[in-house]
Amino acid sequence: MSCQNSNLHNPEDYLTSDSSVSDYMSGASSEDETIEAKNILNVMSSSISLRNQTFKALREGYYPIVLGGDHSQAIGSIAGMKRFMPEAKIIWIDAHIDANTPESSPSRNAHGMPLAYLTG
pTM for the whole thing? 0.71
pLDDT of residue 2: 33
Query: How large is the C-alpha radius of gyration of the chain?
Result: 14
Q: What Å distances lie between residue 81 and 18, 35, 37, 73, CA to CA? A: 19, 29, 24, 12
Determine the residue type at 57. Answer: A
Domains, the chain, ordered by start: 11-119 (3.40.800.10)
Q: What is the mean pLDDT of the chain?
A: 78
Task: For residue range 36-91, list pLDDT tens digits in order.
Answer: 888 888 888 999 999 999 999 999 999 999 998 788 899 999 999 999 999 999 88
